[in-house]
């Protein structure tokens, strides 16, 4: 039937058809480009033949090596018009390319027992085999990595070098690797996809008109559904498509065996008697029914296997002797030395599996691996067997930690309000008593002067009475100012601890916001040189002062963390420009690189994880600023410092309550801020 369909295809081409398109093929990788009984077929070949029918041009398949085809595409005199190659995503080859034909990827392959490769950094210092001119090679020319590249002519050469330990890792394209793995059982997949690519048709720039026609035909095939039919035919049946050549060989052997058995049966049938004819027919019918049943069972098994392979979480079945009966190849972490309980206790997979099998009770626990969190479930199944499920729950753990931290902060807010109330009472008594002392000293001074005239040698606390009265008055002023400062800080703390109300936006002075934040962070700021520059009059905006205090406090604390105490300098500034009001926090600390700068407002992203940072500060600040319809501009230079500028819409003076003017500039040099 195959050859009959090919004959019909050839006969359907009009006599006046244009010159044939020569399609270069280099691979024997099912299901893309392979050869069965001398006939070239596969997804790329059939897709190109469908394109040829639309363009009214016959397709000639010409098979060469990969390097020959790449060289041909750089020559305008080549006898090959177009080839199919893989290009990395977002990378354009020098040659003309079509629309993407089919997606693929490349990942790392190592020998059994080697460590799992999570990312490019795990390849540092290793010898990595890379096919010369392949899409992995093209990618690495633009994205150099810190490892030794060993160029090979074929992926299979890389696998052979891996077996002989001439290289440590092979970066191979998925379809080819899946075909090669049955031939090299000690080679295993050691990573998730590291590079994503897409098959495209490629030609010399001189063939640009032809490539445009191919592109138009390709789009028509996608619209008509023919493309989907080919995809389903070659990729829709599961894993057997990758090993179709070996499957054909097995089927051929089975056919020969069945033919021999049939021939022997025929001889036996003719040699015995015709009385056994009906019995032979019955046996033939039974054999046919068994074949049909076996085919159905095989198809169901393949579908079930495809479902299991598609599960995103790790699943492994062990027996009591810890033999792996089945796995979807996602269980490497279970035996990793850094895979442990959250409290740091080492995890023993064998002991846990045997305990579950013996007790017939399930086991569920949360685990840690580097900066990730995982949940392990072990359930007893058939006799002396257990299934191990591995699922990543890093995000759930982060959300749980954020919820716990929010609860602690809420409790701290309530406690702060109570402590502030308790401090206010003795502070009020101190202020009242100091006022009484000051008035009493004024009344006592004439009596002291009179007594000094009667007794010239009279001393107060070892001091001359005049000096003693001056010192006492100075002490009263210092105590009174300190008590007032305590009162201001307590009031600021009470306002900061109040619950947030999104609708509580009122006329707010930016200068006052800066001063409150400055007082609340005085303990951190005292180690640095601080310059405060406040606009006069103060910019007035509509907002929630408590939430703005939170934003400024967070920015000031981040600036303190980024600086060295020996020469750290923080500059706080408010300004007005037109209808815009500005607040800026500038430091001369460590600064940030571009990669960090892009992620500073992401929840849970922090560069201070080892110091207890949660990664929520700037994320909360960003949310508050969005509620205030404001904008945060950030400029930062590595090892030079950062500047955070908050831009608000100012309101007209008649829309706001009057505020007392504030001095435009103050400077503080490593002293507690008053």
Query: Where along the chain do its domains lie?
Result: 17-236, 244-310, 314-392, 502-674
* Alpha carbon distance 414, 420 (integer Å): 10
pLDDT(674) > 50: no
E strand spans, 270-323: 314-319
* Alpha carbon distance 518, 319 (integer Å): 64
Cβ-based neighbour number of residue 514 at 10 Å:
25
Assign domain 502-674 to its CATH architecture.
2-Layer Sandwich (3.30)
List residues bridging with 385 in a β-sheet.
319
Q: What is the pLDDT of residue 5?
A: 39
What are 59's two structure tokens?
A: 């397709």
The torsion defined by the Cα of 98, 101, 104 and 106, in degrees rounded to 10, comes to: -30
Reported as a single tens digit per residue, the pLDDT across 154-200 is 888 999 999 999 999 999 988 888 888 888 989 999 999 888 988 88
Looking at per-residue pLDDT, the higher value among 249 and 575 belongs to 575
* Nearest of 543, 562, 443, 560 to residue 500 by alpha carbon: 543
* Alpha carbon distance 208, 190 (integer Å): 40
pTM for this structure? Answer: 0.36
Contacts of 647 (CB under 8 A, 6+ apart): 580, 581, 582, 630, 631, 632, 633
Q: Over 369-400, what HEC string results?
A: ECCEEEEEEEEECCCCEEEEEEEECHHHHHHH
CA angle 241-247-252, nearest 5°?
145
3-state secondary structure of 663: coil
Span of 27-41, 378-392, 537-551, 628-642 with lowest mean pLDDT = 27-41
pLDDT(369) > 90: no
Q: What is the pLDDT of residue 647?
A: 94
Cβ-based neighbour number of residue 604 at 10 Å:
16
> pLDDT class for 390, splitting at 50, 70, 90?
confident
* Nearest of 312, 306, 308 to residue 325 by alpha carbon: 308
Q: Which residue has the tokens 């095939």?
A: 221
* Alpha carbon distance 534, 154 (integer Å): 69
3-state secondary structure of 154: coil
What is the Cα 273 distance to its own chain's centre? 75
pLDDT(570) > 90: yes
* Nearest of 29, 30, 2 to residue 240 by alpha carbon: 30
Q: Which residue has the tokens 């969005």?
A: 626
pLDDT(109) > 90: yes
List residues bridging with 151 in a β-sheet.
130
Q: What is the pLDDT of residue 335?
A: 78
Q: What is the pLDDT of residue 500?
A: 55
3-state secondary structure of 334: helix
What is the Cα 363 distance to its own chain's centre? 29
E strand spans, 458-524: 506-509
The DSSP secondary-structure symbol of 499 reads P
> pLDDT class for 670, splitting at 50, 70, 90?
very low
Q: Which residue has the tokens 């010159």?
A: 19
Reported as a single tens digit per residue, the pLDDT across 213-228 is 999 999 999 899 999 9
pLDDT(467) > 50: yes
Looking at per-residue pLDDT, the higher value among 613 and 115 belongs to 115
Reported as a single tens digit per residue, the pLDDT across 574-625 is 999 988 999 999 999 889 888 888 888 776 677 776 665 656 678 778 888 8
Cβ-based neighbour number of residue 369 at 10 Å:
16
Q: What is the pLDDT of residue 6?
A: 39
Q: What is the pLDDT of residue 163?
A: 92
* Nearest of 581, 591, 575 to residue 634 by alpha carbon: 591
3-state secondary structure of 206: helix
* Nearest of 448, 494, 499 to residue 470 by alpha carbon: 448
Q: What is the pLDDT of residue 600?
A: 83
Q: What is the pLDDT of residue 413?
A: 61
Which superfamily is assigned to 17-236 in CATH? Periplasmic binding protein-like II (3.40.190.10)
Q: 314-392: which CATH topology?
A: Beta-Lactamase (3.30.450)
The two most distant CA atoms of the chain are separated, in Å, by 158
Span of 66-80, 223-237, 412-426 with lowest mean pLDDT = 412-426
pLDDT(302) > 80: no
The DSSP secondary-structure symbol of 33 reads B
Q: What is the pLDDT of residue 53?
A: 92
Cβ-based neighbour number of residue 475 at 10 Å:
12
What are 622's two structure tokens?
A: 């960003």
Instruction: Using DSSP bridges, classify how beta strands 569-577 and 529-533 pair: parallel, antiparallel or unpaired.
Output: parallel
Q: What is the pLDDT of residue 77?
A: 87
* Alpha carbon distance 123, 127 (integer Å): 8
Q: What is the mean pLDDT of the chain?
A: 80
pLDDT(60) > 80: yes
Q: What is the pLDDT of residue 469?
A: 78
Span of 114-118, 127-131, 204-208, 432-436 with lowest mean pLDDT = 432-436
Q: Which residue has the tokens 């054999």?
A: 287
Q: Which residue has the tokens 């020569």?
A: 22
Which H helix or E strand runs over 440? Answer: helix 394-454
Pair 497, 417: CB distance under 8 Å: yes
Q: Characterize 66-78 residue by residue with b for buried, 16 or more Cβ atoms within 10 angstroms of its Cβ, and e for exposed.
A: beebbebbeeeeb
3-state secondary structure of 331: coil
Q: What is the pLDDT of residue 331?
A: 65
């Amino acid at each position: 039937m195959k050859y009959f369909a090919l004959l019909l295809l050839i006969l359907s081409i009009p006599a006046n058809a244009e010159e044939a398109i020569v399609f270069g093929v280099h691979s024997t990788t099912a299901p893309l480009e392979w050869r069965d009984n001398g006939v070239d077929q596969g997804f790329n070949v059939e897709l190109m033949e469908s394109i040829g029918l639309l363009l009214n041009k016959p397709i000639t398949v010409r098979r060469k090596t990969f390097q020959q085809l790449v060289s041909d595409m750089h020559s305008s005199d080549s006898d090959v018009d177009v080839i199919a190659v893989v290009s990395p995503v977002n990378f354009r080859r020098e040659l003309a390319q079509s629309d993407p034909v089919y997606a693929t990827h490349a990942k790392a392959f190592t020998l059994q027992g080697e460590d799992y490769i999570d990312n490019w950094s795990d390849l540092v210092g290793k010898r990595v085999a890379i096919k010369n001119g392949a899409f992995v090679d093209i990618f690495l020319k633009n994205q150099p990595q810190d490892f030794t590249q060993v160029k090979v002519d074929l992926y299979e050469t890389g696998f052979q070098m891996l077996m002989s330990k001439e290289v440590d890792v092979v970066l191979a394209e998925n379809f080819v690797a899946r075909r090669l793995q049955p031939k090299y059982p000690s080679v295993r997949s050691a990573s998730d996809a590291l590079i994503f690519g897409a098959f495209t048709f490629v030609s010399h720039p001189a063939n640009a008109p032809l490539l445009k026609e191919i592109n138009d035909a390709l789009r028509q095939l996608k619209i008509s559904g023919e493309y989907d039919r080919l995809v389903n035919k070659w990729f829709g049946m599961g894993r057997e498509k990758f090993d179709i050549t070996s499957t054909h060989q097995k089927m051929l052997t089975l056919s020969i065996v069945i033919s021999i058995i049939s021939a022997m049966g025929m001889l036996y049938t003719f040699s015995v008697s015709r009385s056994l004819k009906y019995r032979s027919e019955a046996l033939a019918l039974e054999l046919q029914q068994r074949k049909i049943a076996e085919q159905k069972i095989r198809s169901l098994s393949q579908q079930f296997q495809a479902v299991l392979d598609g599960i995103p979480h790790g699943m492994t079945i062990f027996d009591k002797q810890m033999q792996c009966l089945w796995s979807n190849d996602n269980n490497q972490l279970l035996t990793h030395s850094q895979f442990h309980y959250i409290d740091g206790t080492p995890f023993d997979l064998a002991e846990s599996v045997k305990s579950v099998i013996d007790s017939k009770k399930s086991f569920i626990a949360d685990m840690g691996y580097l900066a990730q969190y995982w949940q392990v479930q072990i359930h007893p199944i058939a006799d002396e067997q257990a299934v191990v499920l591995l699922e990543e729950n890093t995000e759930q753990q982060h959300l749980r930690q954020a919820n716990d931290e929010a609860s602690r902060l809420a409790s701290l807010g309530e406690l702060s309000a109570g402590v502030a109330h308790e401090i206010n009472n003795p502070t009020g008594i101190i202020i009242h008593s100091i006022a009484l002392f000051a008035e009493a000293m004024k009344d006592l001074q004439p009596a002291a002067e009179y007594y000094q005239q009667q007794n010239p040698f009279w001393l107060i606390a070892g001091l001359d009475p005049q000096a003693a009265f001056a010192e006492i008055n100075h002490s009263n002023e210092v105590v009174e100012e300190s008590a007032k400062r305590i009162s201001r800080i307590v009031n600021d703390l009470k306002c900061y601890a109040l619950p947030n109300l999104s609708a509580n936006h009122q006329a707010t002075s930016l200068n006052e916001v800066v001063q409150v934040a400055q007082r609340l962070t005085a303990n951190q700021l005292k180690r640095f040189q601080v310059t405060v520059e406040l606009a006069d009059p103060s910019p007035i905006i509509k907002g929630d002062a408590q939430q703005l205090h939170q934003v400024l406090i967070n920015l000031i604390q981040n600036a303190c963390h980024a600086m060295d105490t020996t020469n750290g300098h923080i500059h706080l500034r408010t300004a007005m420009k037109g209808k815009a009001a500005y607040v800026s926090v500038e430091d001369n600390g460590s600064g940030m690189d571009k990669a960090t700068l892009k992620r500073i407002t992401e929840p849970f992203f922090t560069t201070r994880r080892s110091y207890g940072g949660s990664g929520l500060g700037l994320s909360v600040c960003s949310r508050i600023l969005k509620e205030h319809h404001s904008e945060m501009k950030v400029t930062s230079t590595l090892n030079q410092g950062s500047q955070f500028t908050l831009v608000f819409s100012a309101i007209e003076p008649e829309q706001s309550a009057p505020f007392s003017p504030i001095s435009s500039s103050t400077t503080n040099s490593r002293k507690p801020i008053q």
